[in-house]
Structure 1
Amino acid sequence: FFLEDAIAVTRYVLQDGSPYMRSAKQMTKEKLRARRSRTAFEEVEEDLRLSLHLQPQDSVKDAVPDQQLDFKQLLARYKGVSKSVIKTMSIMDFEKVNLELIEALLEWIVDGKHSYPPGAILVFLPGLAEIKMLYEQLQSNSLFNNRRSHRCVVHPLHSSLSSEEQQAVFVKPPAGVTKIIISTNIAETSITIDDVVYVIDSGKMKEKRYDASKGMESLEDTFVSQANALQRKGRAGRVASGVCFHLFTSHHFNHQLLKQQLPEIQRVPLEQLCLRIKILEMFSTHNLQSVFSRLIEPPHTDSLRASKIRLRDLGALTPDEKLTPLGYHLASLPVDVRIGKLMLFGSIFRCLDPALTIAASLAFKSPFVSPWDKKEEANQKKLEFAYANSDYLALLRAYKGWQLSTKEGMRASYNYCRQNFLSGRVLQEMASLKRQFTELLSDIGFVKEGLRAREIEKRAQGGDGILDATGEEANSNAENPKLISAMLCAALYPNVVQVKSPEGKFQKTSTGAVRMQPKSEELKFVTKNDGYVHIHPSSVNYQVRHFDSPYLVYHEKIKTSRVFIRDCSVVSVYPLVLFGGGQVSVQLQRGEFIVSLDDGWIRFAAASHQVAELVKELRCELDQLLQDKIKNPSIDLCTCPRGSRIISMIVKLVTT
């Protein structure tokens, strides 16, 4: 069934002033002139009256969307549909997810007169915001309220919810009770709920798109593809005949929806794929553009250009598209390049275990959960783990606590997760990823030879087993938070924001004027290329009023209502200059030696000319160490005299 069928069976009528009506901008010029003196409903009533005397007219071109048609044109397009339904369609905004209509459909399924069998109802919505809105709307309806109703039970389903909340959707309710699941497209392919008989498809989803020019992912509200719609339809009636309502028109399905989603290669970053291509001997002398152009559906040239720039900034690719020593090693790891760099540098600088913990979180997702009814309490618990203005160090603290709890048994582990609003399933997946990452590093000679994920798991006496498997030497700096922050800088560069404080305000006291600390909302955060961003409310840095350094590094920048950086960490200037990409310059300005990077965007005054030059030399020495590792994979960078001396010098520089 489609939108026109849903309106017909529910007898849904749009009230004047409804948020789901078309806006004035969406009306035709003729409609706008008419609306100056008539309401939308008076206008449609007039159309209805005139339609009784209309002569048959030619069909509207299929390429024209329903949203652009008026009553008469819709009447011509949908010849078998009643005029009352056309009346509603002619003033409805098809771009919006109509929660009123979804509620009306739910009422009809649960309490209406029809011959369809009873069963669970699965509602597909684009994202968490819409899920919350519909959930709250249903809780104010006595038929659906979880506390008062004996007819229905409503469950939200979203990847950010805890494992316990997600598991509730699989529990079959008592006889006579209808289960309603409000979900994103996580329920489209990832999971199967056997007792679903009805599907309500809003027709929208959030799709990750990548803006190559800004190096930013965004979650865009888009219409589903025909393939998505059919997949959602297939969720109904897995064990019996089912019913599906798509809340877009039949014409929209046949003529407007794409057959498939955009190919993944056209909506994701290309860095790792670029490296994998360049490490292959057959493509080593080819430029990347010529290789990608051979694909059936190649990525946009802007996306490829931006990926090459990021690889150069990361220190993995030269301007003439040759792999650097670092790029060679990153190409050998089947992970995102930033995660790979964190793994490599964690190994080189002897803080392997914490580096792998953070890498596992970046590769999978954060273990922190935020139940709807305990959001403030969950945020407060996360703040208790906060340390050194870093979401990543907060994550480390939470993970370490979980590791200790697992040694006391499953119940202790469960209680720790419940009390601290952590997902046990995510933590277990992180532990598994850490073991897999260790195996990858072992294969390319960066940790002990012959380590295997399964063997590490078998030998683990509670916890993930990484410390025991890799040894003390590989983790001798594991408790050095400044070094760990420096490793994050190495991995995440050029994802850097500057902290801009407001002009100083002073307060008079008995001892004189004292500089006032700015409010958190007065701080501004700016990136080099695309202006101001905001720290996400879930970050431990969201309400911080003072940072010890004017620079933060972050993993993900994403556009929703605003441009947010999700997790971030304060980083000092020396790691930026040591591990950042681009050329380092040293200049004498007004008696100070200024070290600058990124055309002066990152700059600081060095204690002396010797320190400034030392920074430049150490960068070259680090590159040479990685080159030596390519030539001789068996070399241990931590124990060979030259490597040990250089690494110790860098550790001292970034931690003192």
Structure 2
Amino acid sequence: MTYWLVILLSRPTGVRKIVLATNIAETGVTIPDITCVVDTGKHKEMRFDERRQLSRLTQSFISRANAKQRRGRAGRVQEGLCFHLFTKYRHDNLMAEQQTPEMLRLSLQDLVMRVKICKLGDIEATLAQALDAPSYKNIRRAIDALVEVDALTPSEELTPLGRQIAKLPLDAHLGKLVLLASTFACVDVAITIAAIVSSKSPFLTPFGAKQRADIARLAFKKGDSDLLTTYNAYRAWKAVCTTPGRSEMQFCHKNFLSPQNLGNIEDLKAQLFSSLVDAGFIQLTPEERRAMSRYRNTSRHRVFVEVPAQYDIHTDNDILVNSVIATAFYPKILTREGKGWRNISNNQTVSLGPTSVNKGSQTAHFLSYYNIMQSSNKFYNAHSTSIAYPLPMVLMVAADMDFKLHAGVISLPGNVLRFAVREWRAAVALKVLRRRIKEILANSWKNPARQLSDREKEWLGLFYRMFEERFEKDERIRERAGGKAK
């Protein structure tokens, strides 16, 4: 039985049942034999700072409406008591009437995209009609962030990429990740990463077992990337589940993994794969469509998604995959500064999350990240980081590059990042290759089902060779390092 279902069972005679609950218990679940509720009067709430583009998990007092809901959990089906651990004065005079609406405390980017998809007119004018309208500044910051991702034009119209992202149940950065992966043939890792970021972490840290859990997590380390590390753990779990005679529960217990969270990741991955097929980015044979129908309609046992081989050629090329991640997450890039990291978006000094595989890394000069959260000790921690490489960023990011050919300098807008190129001929070659890659991507956003021309395949072949050579070089270095370790 799933562990959380135990709380719904009636207690044996002579046994007192105590349930520790988050605020999901306010409305999400009713436990029939609860007769007493102890309300701390507090909750943790996610807030997004549009100016700094970071999230905060803040602890604050609840509203009077929340207190009423918590009080209602006592004696739901019988007489009960509720003990509120705050004063009546606080309840009547200091607590807000209602919880702050999500529109005023979470990112507006998804909402802005919905306004454009539904053709509701001007973004600012539409959102201004809301009962609790967000500020003009926050709306503008959300629009500017979507322009930077290339989902909106400066005139606030959906770009071809934005129209494709709108078909996916993902935010702009994750949507861009899976769409880029369909062109660069690394779909499995991309849709799995998108599902991982959108779900609860599969890694568990039981009380009193942090050190063992950290060792288990690091055993899956892959590609100097938190995301690829989690993907590696997911693949190991999938291999166990699809191998007769192996125990999923034993594997998860040994490696501090949650089978429930991994199952949720697989379910969302299947949904994302179906969305790519429906949008035309993946073409299936009749047999592959029948297989997809099976996992869409099967509920008795798990059926794993199998991405067609031609869309998954480069999933194991960590350098290419990390470059696709950096391109999708741009401008969420960190650059090394002394012993720490600086966010190129706002020049803010940040730390890496405590469980990051890149914490303490001496080799990475650039990292991409998915989000930054302010911790309880007021530090800004970057999460879901992956190593980023200068050359792929020059070739792949959507931002306009400034090529100073004779000076041998390539820079991003505002000089947030500058790269030196020794040979001006090399800079010219990079500029041409970048233009061709952008053209291929633009054509794919406009017509996902189209076949690549022979010329486009040649350009992509040149592009891939650069990654293969770097990947082979890194593998040789890793093998030599492993030999020395022995």
* TM-score, with length taken from structure 2: 0.87
| Corresponding residue of 1:371 | 206
The Cα RMSD (Å) is 2.6
The aligned counterpart of 1:182 is 20
Distance in 2 separating the partners of 1:276 and 1:410? 47
The amino acid across from 1:613 in the alignment is V
Match of 1:291 in 2: 126
1:392 is aligned to 2:231: no
Instruction: Give identity over the alignment, percent.
Output: 31
2:373 maps to what in 1? 558
Could you tell me which residue of structure 2 aligns to residue 534 of structure 1?
351
Query: Which residue among 597, 604, 608 is the counterpart of 2:419?
Result: 604
Unpaired runs of 5+ residues, structure 2, are 471-486
Please report how far the alpha carbon of residue 264 of structure 1 lies from its aligned counterpart in structure 2 after TM superposition. Answer: 1.1
Listed as ranges, the matches of 1:191-202 within 5 Å are 191-202=29-40
- Conservation of the 8 A alpha-carbon contact between 2:396 and 2:437: no
Q: How does 1:71-86 map to 2 (within 5 A)?
A: none
Q: In the alignment, what sits opposite 1:269?
A: 107
Residues 550 and 217 (structure 1 numbering): CA distance in 2 closer, same or farther, change over 3 Å?
Answer: same
Gap change, CA 1:545 and 1:631, over 3 Å in 2: closer
- Relative to structure 1, the CA distance from residue 401 to residue 462 in structure 2 (aligned partners, 3 Å threshold; closer, same or farther) is farther
2:189 — aligned with what?
A: 354
Matched residues in 1 for 2:64 and 2:429: separation? 59
How far apart in 2 are the matches of 1:380 and 1:212? 36
Shift of 1:342: 1.1
Show the counterpart of 1:329.
Answer: 164
1:440-474 Cα offsets, whole Å, 9 max, x none, are: 1111110125858653356899975322xx31101
| Segment of structure 1 superposing worse, 253-262 or 562-571 | 253-262
Contact 1:188/1:231, CA 8 A, preserved across alignment: yes
Equivalent pairs, count: 462
1:465 aligned residue: 304
- Matched letter for residue 382 of structure 2: I
In 1, Cα distance between equivalents of 2:300 and 2:114 = 37
Q: 1:267 to 1:370 in 2, by over 3 A?
A: same
Distance 1:165 1:461 in 2: 19
Matched to 2:254, the amino acid is: Q
Aligned 8 A contact 2:161 2:445 in 1:
no
Q: CA–CA distance in 1 between the matches of 2:244 and 2:122? A: 54
Distance in 2, matches of 1:292 and 1:236, equals 38
The answer to whether the aligner puts 1:625 opposite 2:407 as a matched pair is no
Partner of 1:496: 333
Q: Which residue of 2 aligns with 1:595?
A: 410
Alignment of 1:474 with 2:311, yes or no, is yes
Whether contact under 8 Å (1:333, 1:440) holds in the other structure is yes
**How many angstroms apart in 1 are the aligned matches of 2:188 and 2:308?**
10
* SS at structure 1 position matched to 2:408: strand
Letter in structure 1 aligned against 2:462: M
The C-alpha deviation readout for 1:106-154, integer Å capped at 9, x for no partner, is xxxxxxxxxxxxxxxxxxxxxxxxxxxxxxxxxxxxxxxxxxxxxxxxx
Alignment partner of 1:435 out of 270, 277, 282: 270
Contact 2:410-2:419 within 8 A present in 1 as well: yes
Task: In structure 1, give the amino acid aligned to 2:36.
Answer: Y
Matches of 1:649 and 1:291, distance apart in 2: 46
C-alpha contact (below 8 Å) 2:169/2:272 kept by paired residues: no
The answer on 1:586 being equivalent to 2:403 is yes
Kept in 1: contact 2:395–2:434 (CA 8 A): yes
C-alpha contact 1:574 1:653 (8 A) present in aligned 2: no
Q: Is it true that 1:575 corresponds to 2:382 in the alignment?
A: no
Query: What residue identity is the alignment partner of 2:395?
Result: L
Alignment correspondent of 2:474: none
**1:404 and 1:463 in contact (8 A); partners too:** no
SS at match of 1:497: strand
Equivalents in 2 of 1:270, 1:414: separation in Å? Answer: 40
Which of the residues 230, 239, 244 maps onto 2:68?
230
Letter in 2 for 1:605: A
Q: Give me the whole-angstrom Cα distance separating, in 2, the residues matched to 1:567 and 1:630.
A: 26
For 1:320, the equivalent position in structure 2 comes to 155
| Rg larger for | 1
SS across alignment from 2:158: coil
Specify which of 35, 42, 46 is matched with residue 204 of structure 1.
Answer: 42
Please say if residues 160 and 446 of structure 2, whose CA atoms lie closer than 8 Å, have aligned partners that are also in contact.
no
Residue matched to 1:486:
323
Q: Name the aligned partner's letter for residue 563 of structure 1.
A: Y
- CA displacement 1:302-358 (0-9 Å, x = unmatched): 221211221122122222223222222112223211111111111111111111110
The residue identity in structure 1 corresponding to 2:402 is S
Please report how far the alpha carbon of residue 224 of structure 1 lies from its aligned counterpart in structure 2 after TM superposition.
0.8
Q: Secondary structure at the match of 1:317?
A: coil
* Counterparts in 2 of 1:195 and 1:355: CA distance versus 1, 3 Å: same
Q: Does 1:546 align with 2:362?
A: yes
Partners of 2:437 and 2:297 in 1: CA distance: 36
**Cα deviation 1:556-577 (Å, max 9, x = unaligned):** 1101222111221111112322
Q: Does the 8 Å contact 2:7/2:31 carry over to 1? A: yes
Structure 1's 254 and 627: CA in aligned 2 closer, same or farther, altered over 3 A?
Answer: same
Note if contact 1:457-1:465 (Cα within 8 Å) is conserved in structure 2. Answer: no
Deviation, structure 1 residue 595: 1.3
Residue pair 1:332, 1:444 contacting (<8 A) in 2 also: yes
Aligned residue for 2:410, secondary structure, equals strand
User: Contact 1:212–1:269 (CA<8 Å) still a contact in 2?
Assistant: yes
Indicate the residue corresponding to 2:294 in structure 1.
455
Q: Indicate the SS of the match to 2:350.
A: strand
State the partner residue of 1:108. Answer: none
Q: Name whichever of 350-359 and 186-195 sits farther off.
A: 186-195
TM-score normalised by the chain length of structure 1: 0.66
